[in-house]
Amino acid sequence: MTVLQFLKLYGVGTVVCFGLDLVWIGLVARGFYQRHLGQLLRPDVRWVPAVLFYLLYVAALVVFVVMPALERQSPARALLLGAFFGLAAYAAYDLTSLALIKDFPLVAAVVDLAWGATLSAVVCGAVYAAARAGL
């Protein structure tokens, strides 16, 4: 894979990941997170750390999940390993929060783990499909 190909796929992944997560956090699960994590949430979003997360996370998805799936020509691998990668990555936050943050709600951790797995599988599937389509 050339640098240009990687950057194109990375761009697809970034748009899909950021877009879906904004819909999830801003619309679908907004009330859920407010209800369960309201006391922990900032009144304003700190965009620099958020954007840095997306940039780093999507790069990891492309390098560690999508590229190996493309080498094996396996969309199932992209989806399944994407879900596993997302579960593991989101577990770093959620399980650490359950271990260290007083009264961190279990239900919020479980929902967030499921979202991390789902989001990552969808992003990896979209990037894989874009690569197979010749992007």
**Tens digits of per-residue pLDDT, 74-110?**
999 999 999 999 999 999 999 999 999 999 999 999 9
Helix (H) or strand (E) holding 17: helix 3-23
Domain count, the chain: 1
Contact, 62 vs 126, CB < 8 A?
A: no
**Tens digits of per-residue pLDDT, 53-84?**
999 999 999 999 999 999 999 999 999 999 99
Calpha distance 62→7 (Å, rounded): 10
Domain that holds residue 67: 3-132
Q: 90 — phi, psi (to 5°)?
A: -70, -25
Contact, 72 vs 32, CB < 8 A?
A: no
Contact, 61 vs 120, CB < 8 A?
A: yes
pLDDT band at 130 (very low <50, low <70, confident <90, very high): very high
